[in-house]
Structure 1
Amino acid sequence: MIELQGVTKSFGSNHVLRGVDLTIPRGESMVIIGGSGTGKSVLLKCILGLVRPDGGTITLDGQDVTTGDRDAFLARFGMLFQGGALFDSLTVWQNVAFRLLRGALKRPKAEAREIAIEKLRRVGLGPQVADLYPAELSGGMQKRVSLARAIAAEPEIIFFDEPTTGLDPIMAGVINELIREIVTEMGATAMTITHDMTSVRAISDRVAMLHGGKVRWTGEIAEMDTTSDPYVQQFIHGRPDGPIESLR
């Protein structure tokens, strides 16, 4: 569904992406792993068109993502941001229904609220939270609201940027389970950026290892533990010695 060929991106002398080749099949959950600063977030921004690559091609269903109707293109995506990124001045339901209250996806206010409450229910939150503000919620509840917002418009593709950051192990497990269930129910194509190996094992069909601006390895989740690739083995086991240099 999404294909990247030879994608490069530099910021001055910092060569972040050095020729990324990656295919994300329709209806599968792809997780991108790699250390901090390896270009995972830049790669995601390139796919969304927030950052223009210096070279290479990125296609969605065979169409170049840099051409065509921008609004129609973005309407196909949902996004769960690393920090939640809820709007403090909007109530919970208004956050969830943000895309449904404006633009090409605009719905009547009453309908948008009804959809928001249903999506909140899907992530385990009752209607009593709908009129609260984000500051009145715990971190775990805020993450659930963000997930509800990501799926509110029934997107074909969902991006998850470090979905369990800042959560305790139990809540992280809950979020991972919700992500897996929702992606499967919707039949959505998912791309997740994370360095949390628990999340990788819980939500992925396929895994890609990004290091040094290139995809060093990609394969099914069942192959990750048995691959002989030294980058993958060092990363998943957290070893200080190996081809990935540690700052010591």
Structure 2
Amino acid sequence: MIRLEDVHKSFGNNRVLRGLNLEVPKGTSMVIIGGSGTGKSVALKCILGLVTPDSGRILVDDQDATQGDRDAFLARFGMLFQGGALFDSLSVWQNVAFRLLRGSLKRPAEEARAIAIDKLRRVGLKPEVADLFPAELSGGMQKRVGLARAIAADPEIIFFDEPTTGLDPIMSGVINELIREIVVEMGATALTITHDMTSVRAIADNVAMLHDGVIKWTGPVAEMDHSGDPYLDQFIHGRAEGPIEAVR
């Protein structure tokens, strides 16, 4: 579903992506891991077209991601943002139905509200939450609202950016289970960025280790602990010593 071929991206003298190659098969869950500043978020932004690569190709369903109708392209994606990114001035249901109230996916307000309530129910939130505002919700509830928004338009591809950041271990487990269930249920292709190894083991079919702008290792999550790759081994075990130098 997603293929990156020799993708390079620099910001001034900072070379972030240095020949990134990655394939995400249709209907699978890929998790990209790696230290801060290794290019994970930049790779995701390149796929979405928020950042233009300096060179290389990005294909989505065998189509060049930089060509064609931009609205139609983005309509295929759902996104769960790291910080939730809910609009404070909008009610919960309006946040969930944000895409359904405007643009090419626009629906009548009544229909959009009904879809939003159904998606809230899917992530374990009751209908009465719909008319609350984000400030009235706990962090875990806000994350669920963000997840409901990500799936509101039944996208083919869903991106999850650090889905468990700021959550306690129990709520992180709940969110991981929800993500896994929803991806399988929808048959969606998922791409997740995370530092949380518990999340990796819970939601990944395949794992890619990104370091210094390139993929050092990629393979099934079941093979991760026995990869033999020194970068991956150091990262997943949190060792201070190894080829990855800690920023001090």
Q: Mark yes or no: TM-score above 0.5.
A: yes
Alignment-mate amino acid for residue 116 of structure 1: A
Provide Cα deviations, 1:100-133, integer angstroms capped at 9, x if missing partner. Answer: 0000000011000000000000000001100000
Could you tell me which runs of 5 or more consecutive residues in structure 1 were left unpaired when the two chains were aligned.
Answer: none
1:244 aligns to what SS in structure 2? coil
1:159 aligns to what SS in structure 2? strand
Residue number in structure 2 paired with 1:151: 151
TM-score (norm 2): 1.00
Name the CA distance, whole Å, in 1 between partners of 2:201 and 2:183: 15
- Structure 1 moving runs of 4+ over 6 Å: none
**Are residue 85 (structure 1) and residue 85 (structure 2) matched?**
yes
Residue number in structure 1 paired with 2:33: 33
Name the CA distance, whole Å, in 2 between partners of 1:23 and 1:32: 11
Residue number in structure 2 paired with 1:175: 175
Alignment-mate amino acid for residue 140 of structure 1: G
Could you tell me which runs of 5 or more consecutive residues in structure 2 were left unpaired when the two chains were aligned.
Answer: none
Root-mean-square deviation (CA), in Å?
0.4
1:22 aligns to what SS in structure 2? strand
**Are residue 54 (structure 1) and residue 67 (structure 2) matched?**
no
Identity %, equivalent residues = 79
Name the CA distance, whole Å, in 1 between partners of 2:64 and 2:108: 33
Name the CA distance, whole Å, in 2 between partners of 1:105 and 1:63: 21
Alignment-mate amino acid for residue 49 of structure 1: G
Shift of 1:61: 1.2
Name the CA distance, whole Å, in 1 between partners of 2:9 and 2:34: 17
Provide Cα deviations, 1:153-185, integer angstroms capped at 9, x if missing partner. Answer: 000000000000000000000000000000000
Residue number in structure 2 paired with 1:13: 13
1:128 aligns to what SS in structure 2? helix
Name the CA distance, whole Å, in 2 between partners of 1:247 and 1:116: 43
Map 1:85-104 onto structure 2 (within 5 A).
Answer: 85-104=85-104
Provide Cα deviations, 1:9-61, integer angstroms capped at 9, x if missing partner. Answer: 00000000000000000000000000011000000000000000001000011
Name the CA distance, whole Å, in 1 between partners of 2:170 and 2:211: 29
Shift of 1:247: 2.4
TM-score (norm 1): 1.00
